[in-house]
Amino acid sequence: MDVDWTKSAAERGSREEVAAAMSGDGAIIGVSDHAGWAVLVTVAEDGIVLDSRRVELVDAHLPSMPIHHDAQKLPLEQGLDLVERVRISAEQHAKRALDAVAHAVATPVRGIALRECPPLPPTVAERIQNYRASNVADWVMYRMALAHAAESRGWFVRWYDAKTVIAAVCEALHVATLDTYFLEARKSFGPPWTKDHKVATVAAIGVSLASRSVRL
């Protein structure tokens, strides 16, 4: 990542500034999810990245987007059965993933930040048959699996807008960018450090800023 060094340190943001604004009462897991996998970044109360990992959210022999793809080619009852098998697999993988993070970090985790879910029809059958819903329903299934796994551990769940979360956190911290923070995090924790890692990290930070009425 290239940093614009023509900007002042305050404009770029730093871990010290992040730490000063965070709530200081536990770690948060930020999630940037995809179809069948996700990046999880755990951020401590002082802004330090404690853990970063890619996790699989479905068994390898099952399709990652059953509602959008595979169920469309099957009779409805078979499609529903396939989606249910994927859902059960996603729930199991989500639980194992969060268990692994909880055991890997010394700081107690208190919550998880997930991307907002678009509204969907209430039944899986409707989601399969509705074109708009079928385009997003698989993503929602994986997010809900992670949400349920977090709640089962007693963690809270917060939802964020991936399009605005970085700008919202920058505004709350009164900085133009988080370039310096990202560079510091990558240096201390190491690669990979992709857009997914940045979004997940900032989503976790945003949860700790929620008491300051930041809308993510």
* pLDDT tens digits along 56-81: 999 999 999 999 999 999 999 999 99
Q: Which of 145, 198, 127, 150 is nearest to 37 (CA)?
A: 145
pLDDT, position 24 = 59
- Coarse DSSP helix, strand, coil percentages of the chain, rounded to the nearest 5 percent: 50, 15, 35
Buried/exposed code over 131-167 (b: 16+ C-beta within 10 A; e: otherwise): eebbebbbbbbbbbbbbebbeeeebebbebebeebbe
Cite the beta strand spans of the chain per DSSP E: 27-33, 37-43, 49-56, 109-115, 156-160
> Which CATH number is 9-212's, of 3.20.20.80, 3.65.10.10, 3.30.420.10, 3.40.50.300?
3.30.420.10
Length of the chain (residues): 216
pLDDT, position 18 = 59
pLDDT confidence of 187, banded at 50, 70, 90? confident
Amino acid at 113: A
pLDDT, position 158 = 95
Is the pLDDT assigned to residue 7 strictly greater than 80?
A: no
pLDDT, position 132 = 96
Separation of alpha carbons 121 and 130, rounded Å: 8
Cα–Cα distances (Å) from 176 to 96, 112, 166, in that order, read 37, 26, 10
Amino acid at 48: I
Q: Which of 103-107, 113-117, 174-178 has the lowest mean pLDDT?
A: 174-178
pLDDT, position 188 = 80
Cite the beta strand spans of 87-141 per DSSP E: 109-115
Rounded mean pLDDT of 123-147?
98
pLDDT, position 19 = 54
Is the pLDDT assigned to residue 129 strictly greater than 70?
A: yes
CB atoms closer than 10 angstroms to residue 75: 9
pLDDT, position 109 = 95
Rounded mean pLDDT of 73-92?
98
Dihedrals phi, psi of 87, to nearest 5 degrees: -60, -45
Rounded mean pLDDT of 42-53?
90
pLDDT confidence of 197, banded at 50, 70, 90? very high
Q: Which of 6-10, 13-17, 67-71, 133-137 has the lowest mean pLDDT?
A: 6-10
CB atoms closer than 10 angstroms to residue 6: 7
pLDDT, position 12 = 47
Q: Name the average pLDDT for the chain.
A: 88
Residues 6 or more apart whose Cβ sits within 8 Å of residue 6: none
Separation of alpha carbons 175 and 15, rounded Å: 12
